Amino acid sequence: MRETLSSAQVEVIEAENGKIALTLFEQHQPALVVLDVSMPGISGFEVCQQIRQHKDGQHIPIIMVTGSDDIESIHKAYAVGATDFIAKPIKWPILGERVKYILRASQAFEDLVTQQQELHQLAFYDALTSLPNRQFLMQDMKKFLALARRNNYHAAMLFIDLDRFKRINDTMGHSYGDKLLRKVALRLQTNLRDSDVFGTLSEGSKPELASFGGDEFTIFLSRLNDSNEAMHIAERVIRSFSQPFQLEQYEVVITPSIGISIFPNDGNDADTLLKNADTAMYFAKQSGRCCYKFYCDSMNAKAALRLQLEQDLRSALSSGAILPFYQPQICAQNGRMVSVEALVRWIQPQGRMIGPDEFIPIAEETGLIIELGKQVLQQSCHQASVWMKNGNPIRVAVNVSAHQFKQSDFTDLVKQTLEEYQLPASLLELELTESVIMSDAEENISRLKELKAIGVTLAVDDFGTGYSSLSYLKRFPIDILKIDRSFMCDINSAPDDIAIVDAILALASSLNLGVIAEGIEYSEQITILKSTNNLLLQGYLFSRPVAAEYITLDRARL
């Protein structure tokens, strides 16, 4: 037998009895075992049975060699786990082919098992973090919630979303974003494995961490004594993010927002529990991020209202219900209106007007801000061209969102819009907030220079509320600083505000920039500004934002 198998290019290890066979199996992990039924000491049946009980012997092919007329031995061979048998007398030429066939079949089986394992990994685990995925979690939740329902105990779902994760991908690239997600997954796993976590949980409960793809994770607590246990886990997760994440040479700080739903109070099935935890997470973000919120019934009503508002906003953009109103900007020296700021308003069919504070955040979250910004730019340029043709060349200032400014074709959009409405570039002002232009200063300098080359006026809105590097400010090709209204409202009673306004005015003068003071509601506020050159005033003292037909050249004077 050894000679026959060796000639078939099979490496053969021979054992003279069953005990040695088991030792050699442990040492060599062979691809196939051939056992005689009758051996000294331990029979072939016993060796076969012990191999099958071994962790590495469950699927290995085992061929038993027995007498041709020994039917009972053949039945027993299969009973103890044999794959096949060979009857004596053995036909040696056929033996090699039979062994090779069984080895090929065994390899095919191993390949199938490996494929099934890979498919299982793909189907039930996140490829990036190797954590269980949504499908795995939902299956587990259904099983554990059935136990919780039957035994009348609570469970909890924690839905975790990383705050402002998109800025990592946008500023550092997706490869760093992926590295951060892997680090986050590892930190969550490490924290939940620590033994002191389980001291806060009910007996038999252990946190189950899952990845929902992207920057979303969940923790399922299958058994709770009370909701405080979920709260302790949420607080622990938030604390674990206090240390920065090291991404090669960079230290990145990121925070989690967490929504918590409790079974059965907040949902009697896995889908509802998950949906309500997601809703609570959204409200955690609305509350300032880096915190947790428990779900309550009123959240769904608010979420439904927000969803309806989003749908209505899409319709409003299609139907032209989003319109710019215009607020005059008055020359401090002669009291004449020289420009207006376009401030977007949403007029619903029933006549209700919705302010920007209510719908701009939704537009930014959903990406509708790009289309919204485009429409406002086009409508404002069209209106400015109408005023110009009527003999009133009034400059119109249009706010540009961060999302819109970062679009690669934004400069082209501005050019095309000016050409379409035959509006001189000098009658268009683009306002960007301090935080937008400082978000990526070097790249933004290039973008601002492109816009400046067209001939438009560039203004920094809400100046003084963000962070500016004066060295960068000197390099930005800007024309106007707008003093934020928060510094002007209490100009007579807040010495700190007066000092800030004085500093901005001095800075503008040294850089030869114009100044617009927002929030002018009282004539006393103008006193401190009177001596400033190139000063424009804007506020309720002169006019609220009004529809275009109410703007006339002589309507506002000091």
Q: What is the mean pLDDT of residues 488-511?
A: 75
User: Looking at the structure, do residues 285 and 145 belong to the same domain, yes or no?
Assistant: yes
Q: Is the peptide bond before 328 cis (omega within 30 degrees of 0)?
A: no
User: Is residue 279 located within the same domain as residue 381?
Assistant: no
Q: What is the pTM of this model?
A: 0.59
Sheet holding 216-224, edge to edge: 207-211, 216-224, 154-162, 256-263, 292-294
Tokens of 275: 């949906």
Looking at residue 346, what is its pLDDT? 92
| CATH, residue 379 | 3.20.20.450
Q: How does strand 337-347 pair with strand 395-399?
A: parallel
Mean pLDDT of the chain: 87
Does residue 499 form part of some domain? no
Among candidate residues 463, 482, 501, the one where a domain is terminated: 482
State the DSSP code for 94. Answer: H
Whole-angstrom CA distances from 547 to 17, 240, 383 are 101, 52, 11
The fraction of the chain above a pLDDT of 70, given in percent, is 93
Show which of 482, 498, 530 is a domain's final residue: 482
What length is written for the chain?
A: 558
**Strands 207-211 vs 256-263: parallel, antiparallel or unpaired:** unpaired
Mean pLDDT of 499-512: 84
Residues 204 and 62 in one domain: no
Residue 411: DSSP 8-state: H
pLDDT surpasses 60 at 553 = no
- Give pLDDT, residue 137: 92
Q: Which long-range contacts (CB under 8 A, 24 or more apart) does 35-41 make?
A: 35/62, 35/63, 35/64, 35/65, 35/82, 36/64, 36/65, 36/66, 37/64, 37/65, 37/66, 37/67, 37/70, 37/73, 37/77, 40/16, 41/17
**CATH code for the domain in which residue 8 is found:** 3.40.50.2300
| 343 within a domain of the structure (yes/no) | yes
Report, as an integer, the average pLDDT of 453-465: 88
Looking at the DSSP bridge assignments, the partners of residue 35 are 64
Both 364 and 312 in one domain: the answer is: yes
Residue 11 one-letter amino acid:
E
Question: Residue 525: is its pLDDT beyond 60?
Answer: yes
Tally of domains in the chain: 3
d(CA 514, CA 429): 12
538 domain residue, yes or no: no
DSSP assigned state of 276: H
What's the per-residue H, E or C state across 297-346? HHHHHHHHHHHHHHHHHHHHHHHCCEEEEEEEEEECCCCCEEEEEEEEEE
pLDDT digits (tens, 9 = 90+) for 50-77: 999 988 888 899 998 887 667 887 888 8
Mean pLDDT, range 548-552, rounded to an integer = 87
Q: How far apart are CA 387 and CA 424, in angstroms?
A: 12
pLDDT band, very low/low/confident/very high, at 509 (cuts 50, 70, 90): confident
Q: Do residues 154 and 50 share a domain?
A: no
Domain boundary residue, one of 482, 497, 520: 482
Cα distances (Å, whole numbers) of residue 127 to 117, 245, 247, 435: 14, 21, 20, 36
Per residue in 28-47, pLDDT tens?
Answer: 989 999 999 888 888 999 99
pLDDT at 400: 95
Q: Which pLDDT band holds residue 203 (cuts at 50, 70, 90)?
A: low
Domain shared by 203 and 329, yes or no: no
CA pair distance 355, 282, nearest whole angstrom: 22
Residue 510 resides in a domain:
no
Q: Is residue 354 part of a domain?
A: yes
Residue 82, SS3 per DSSP = coil
Assess whether 394 and 325 both reside in one domain. yes
495 pLDDT more than 80: no
Using pLDDT thresholds of 50, 70 and 90, give the confidence band for residue 95. Answer: confident
Q: Which tokens sit at 186? A: 């590892």
Q: Are residues 321 and 349 in the same domain?
A: yes
**Strand 457-463 relative to strand 480-483: parallel, antiparallel, unpaired?**
parallel
Range of the domain at 140: 134-295
**428 pLDDT more than 90:** yes
Token pair belonging to 384: 């400015």
- Quick one: pLDDT band at residue 198, thresholds 50, 70, 90? low
Alpha-carbon gap, residue 444 to 473, rounded angstroms = 11
Domain for residue 249, yes or no? yes
Asked if residue 537 belongs to a domain, the reply is no
Among residues 428, 418, 431, the alpha carbon closest in space to that of 395 is found at 428
DSSP-assigned letters across all residues of 219-274: EEEEEESSTHHHHHHHHHHHHHTSSPEEETTEEE---EEEEEEEETTT-SSHHHHH
- Answer yes or no: do 316 and 255 share one domain: no
Q: Is the pLDDT of residue 268 over 70?
A: yes
Judge if 287 and 360 occupy the same domain.
no
Pair 141, 227 in one domain: yes
Report the CATH number that the domain containing residue 238 is assigned in CATH: 3.30.70.270
Measured between alpha carbons, how far is 273 from 295 in angstroms, rounded to an integer?
Answer: 10
Q: Is residue 169 part of a domain?
A: yes
- Band (pLDDT 50/70/90 cuts) for residue 197 is low
User: What is the structure's pLDDT at 168?
Assistant: 85
To which H or E segment does residue 157 belong? strand 154-162
- pLDDT > 70? residue 558: no
Same domain, 104 and 153: no
